[in-house]
Amino acid sequence: MKTTRALIQRTGGLGAESDYASLRKPALRWVSKGFALHACPQKPKQNGGQDGAQDGGQNAAQTGAKNIIGFAVIASKKTAKLAVDRNRMRRRLRAVSWEILPQFADPSYHYMVIARRDLPHQDYETLRRDFIWCLRKLGLFIPKNPQNSQDAPQETPQKSLAEPPA
């Protein structure tokens, strides 16, 4: 499944340093072969539950701030010496996060995805499966009902074979 603009708009960066600090020693953490997933409950917002206090809350109202899932992707020099490799790792983890988090993750949590050394040797489908597996192990996997989802492809009704052609 491809990531759409609507899915990307339901995710956002962490922004505040306090959000990163709360994820450094998380209560929930699971490690797979290519990355580690940290999760921490979101703190209630001080400005009435809306993000974007500087822009008067206009941006938050457009994107539906209640459902925005905050996440960060980290690839340190320890995982790859070359910046090109670290950037590729970040791009791949960001793409997987944009695809999986809005659809299957608990929106009341912030997530941090930390790259590991084995990440460049894994294909995209393996990363997707590992990400969902980590969410299940943490108890944060929320399966969405495809009939009620706006992003689910609409099925076309098929003709019955019992009816003769007109």
Q: Is the confidence at residue 5, as pLDDT, over 70?
A: yes
Q: Is the confidence at residue 159, as pLDDT, over 60?
A: no
- Chain centroid to Cα 49, Å, comes to 21
Q: What is the mean pLDDT of residues 63-77?
A: 78
Average pLDDT across the chain, whole number: 76
Give the residue with greater pLDDT, 125 vs 54: 125
Q: Is the confidence at residue 160, as pLDDT, over 60?
A: no
38-57 in b/e form (b: 16+ CB < 10 A) is bbbebeeeeeeeebeeeeeb
Q: Is the pTM of this model over 0.75?
A: no
Question: Which residue's structure tokens are 């979101």?
Answer: 42
Q: Is the confidence at residue 129, as pLDDT, over 60?
A: yes
Q: Identify the DSSP state of 153.
A: P
By the 8 A CB rule, do 71 and 96 touch? no
Which residues are within 8 A (CB) of 68 and not within 5 positions of it... i.e. 6 or more apart? Answer: 10, 11, 12, 51, 107
**What are the structural domains, with CATH classification, of the chain?**
5-138 (3.30.230.10)
Q: Identify the DSSP state of 152.
A: S
Instruction: Please report which confidence band the pLDDT of residue 154 belongs to, taking 50, 70 and 90 as the band edges.
Output: very low
